[in-house]
A and B are shown apart, each in its own frame.
Chain A
Amino acid sequence: MSMKNNSDVSPQQAINKLKAAKKIVHMSGKRKEELKNVLLDKLEYEKKEEGKVMIEQEALNLL
């Protein structure tokens, strides 16, 4: 799209376009829930990995 295509857009129309754009981009409730579960799994995994590192470090400290 070239600049000329926007030649009839006033600042107020630009604002209206931005406001309208809000309504067309969103996550579905299902996708939001899926991503939440993925995140929680990642966080649980990281916590376990951190726990392993701590145990290994403690074991090294005992040597």
Chain B
Amino acid sequence: MADNFKIKFIDAYKKYADAIYRYCYFRVYSKQLAEELMQETFMRMWKYLVDGKDIINMQALLYQISRNLIIDLSRRDKVRKSIEQAMKLEQDGNFSEPSYNGKTDLEKKALLGEVYQLMKMLSRDSQDILVMRYIQGLTPKEIADIFHTSPNNISVRIYKSLKKLNKYV
């Protein structure tokens, strides 16, 4: 394995692995599937590196890869089944996530359930954008780089998504 590729790969992993994992989690609601998607994302990024493709924006590339993987999965209907399974486990009380000081397991489960309920009111793109903006903490400019659009367009879509949520809630 070429050392310079390996260094770039490990740097990117250290910097983005947790964020990509979290993004995947909030798109599939399964810890195991989120880990698999995160790993596959980095495998594909590695292929970009060794193929000599120019990576100008590593963060945007990783989100684009993971987003495409999730779209592929949802086309195969696995995401819907995974979400249904995760929600069932949650209701059964067997669903757990890494600990977060200050919140009980019950509070965490309730919060995850509420987020899931909110997100399912929206289209796939709107879910992506709201997860990236408010859970991942990306700026409209960073999201625009992922979607190949303008920050203004992203801001408008965030506004519309929140408005749509308001209509439902």
A residues lining the B interface (CB < 8 Å): 1, 3, 5-7, 9-11, 14-15, 17-28, 32, 35-36, 38-40, 42-44, 47
Contact = CB atoms under 8 A, between A and B. Distances in A.
26 contacts: A1-B114, A3-B168, A6-B117, A10-B166, A14-B165, A14-B169, A15-B162, A19-B134, A22-B136, A23-B100, A24-B98, A24-B108, A24-B112, A25-B25, A25-B97, A27-B21, A27-B98, A32-B17, A35-B38, A36-B17, A38-B39, A39-B39, A40-B1, A42-B39, A43-B46, A47-B1
B137 A22 contact: yes
B65 to A, nearest CB: 14
B26 interface: yes
Interface in B1-37: 1, 6, 9-10, 13, 17-18, 21-22, 25-26, 35
Interface of A is mostly: helix
Given A11-B165, A15-B134, A39-B13, A6 B114 contact: yes
A7 B168 CA distance: 8
Interface residues of B, number: 41
Contacts of A42: 39, 43
Contacts, number: 100
A36 B103 CA distance: 29
Interface of B is mostly: helix
B156 to A, nearest CB: 15
B115 interface: yes
B111 A28 contact: no
Given A19-B134, A27-B18, 19 more contacts: A1-B114, A5-B117, A6-B117, A9-B114, A11-B166, A18-B131, A19-B135, A20-B111, A21-B26, A21-B111, A25-B25, A25-B112, A26-B18, A28-B98, A35-B38, A38-B39, A39-B43, A43-B9, A43-B43
A28 B29 CA distance: 17
A24 B31 CA distance: 12
A20 B102 CA distance: 11
A38 to B, nearest CB: 7
Contacts of B114: 1, 6, 9, 17
